Amino acid sequence: PYNLKGRNFLTLLDYNREEIDYLIKLSENLKIKKNSGIKGDLLEGKNIALIFEKTSTRTRSAFAVAARDEGAYPEFLGINDIQLGKKESVADTARVLGRMFDGIEFRGYAHQTIEELAVNAGVPVWNGLTDSYHPTQVLADLLTVKENLGYIKGVNFAYLGDGRNNMANSLMIAAAIMGMNFTIVSPDKLRPAPALQEKCHSLARESGAAIRQTDDPVTGVKNADVIYTDVWVSMGEEDKFAKRINLLKPYQVDMEMIKNTNNDHPIFLHCLPAYHNTDTENGKYIYEKYNIEEMEVTDRVFNSKYSKVFDQAENRMHTIKAVMVATLGK
Ligand code: CP
Ligand code: NVA
């Protein structure tokens, strides 16, 4: 096995294909172990800090359950509970937490914050989402792809919607490293940043991945094995709601789009939370005032046989456990 002890997990760019394969294999083994009811001790005696500047259902729960399953103690540190960034610098917070905890998860806004934590903590730091990257999510996505298709390299992967957000960035990186054919299907205004595209193109030359971008939702999904989308408005950019709806309307994942893959068995993935049945105002969904009935994915697709979104959500726990065990465990 690969020795990843003491490593951070920040963007995925710091991991190679063999190491990511190893993390997925380890996730599969830990999933089998959990499902057989075997209690683990691979993180026995470890204390884990969970810092959250933004809200979370899956990531927080996955870290907490994964830690306990393997004998570690997780401590939740919400942004309103600790001094981070208000009364105390990020660097000092990192130095203090590093004296008490064996590993630190961070979810928040600026990616710079987690880089600063990582430089100063002296213990592994794991990215539970920043404005720029969401690498633990992508591990769960890769596991879900492997479980459903049987392989990762060579998979045709179409990502619809906001091509500049943390999910688009991290999925593109994973595809480039792992050799998936990745098409960003998004309006030109929401293309991935040129510098990151360039980096991914150079990684793709090594792995054999094809990284493409198109604004055409019809041809963009042709031959796709995986259709992936994310919310049109990410945490922290709520003021862009109206603009995003107008830009992204044509990229809604509906049954027509599933048909346009020309594939009998595509799978639909979404990191969740999905916007499709939330936020009402006077009994109406907020987005209805923008003349749209559903958001990034229709209920029909979300609840169809193509949709693997809840397997994907469960896999957050198994893959996060693998990251902690690999970087910190026995
Ligand atoms: N997918 C994901 O990260 O979900 P949460 O925001 O609920 O953690
Ligand atoms: N792009 C989304 C992902 C949520 C898991 C966000 O940042 O809000």
Q: Can 17-133+316-328 and 137-313 be said to share one CATH topology? A: yes
Tokens of 235: 């945490």
Query: What is the C-alpha to C-alpha distance for residues 261 and 226, in angstroms, rounded to an integer?
Result: 9
Say which residue the tokens 């709520």 belong to: 238
Pairing of strands 267-270, 280-281: unpaired
Q: Is the CA virtual torsion 7, 141, 162, 196 positive or negative?
A: positive
Catalytic residues: 107, 134, 137, 230, 271, 316
Task: Give 45-81 pLDDT, tens digit per residue.
Answer: 999 999 999 999 999 999 999 999 999 999 999 999 9
Sketch the domain layout of the chain as residue ranges.
17-133+316-328, 137-313
**204 closest CA partner among 262, 157, 265, 251:** 157
Ligand 1 center–CA 109 separation, angstroms: 14
Say what the pLDDT of residue 289 is.
Answer: 77
Name the 3-class secondary structure at 242.
Answer: helix
Could you tell me the pLDDT band of residue 292, with boundaries at 50, 70 and 90? confident
The residues lining ligand 2, judged by C-beta closer than 6 Å to any ligand atom, are 129, 165-167, 230-231, 234-235, 271
Tell which one of 170, 233, 271, 296 to mutate to probe ligand 1, the residue whose CB is within 8 A of the most ligand atoms. 271
**66 phi/psi in degrees, rounded to 5:** -60, -45
Instruction: Quick: pLDDT tens for 239-266.
Output: 999 999 999 999 999 999 999 999 999 9
- The finding on whether 272 has its CB within 6 A of some atom of ligand 1 is yes
> Does the annotation list 107 as a binding residue?
yes
201 is in an annotated binding site: no
Which CATH fold topology does 17-133+316-328 show? Rossmann fold (3.40.50)
User: What CATH number belongs to 137-313?
Assistant: 3.40.50.1370
- Rounded to two decimals, what is the model's pTM? 0.97
Residue 285 has pLDDT above 90, yes or no: no
- Which residue from 149, 153, 127 is spatially nearest to 54, judged by alpha carbons? 127
The predicted-structure confidence for 114-137, as pLDDT tens digits, reads as follows 999 999 999 999 999 999 999 999
Closest-approaching ligand to the CA atom of 275? 2
Centre of ligand 1 to C-alpha 261, Å, is 27
Up-side HSE of residue 63: CA atoms within 13 Å toward CB? 28
Protein residue with least CA distance to atom 3, ligand 1? 59
197 touches ligand 1 (CB under 6 Å)? no
- Position in ligand 1 atom list of the atom nearest CA 313: 1
**ipTM above threshold 0.95:** yes
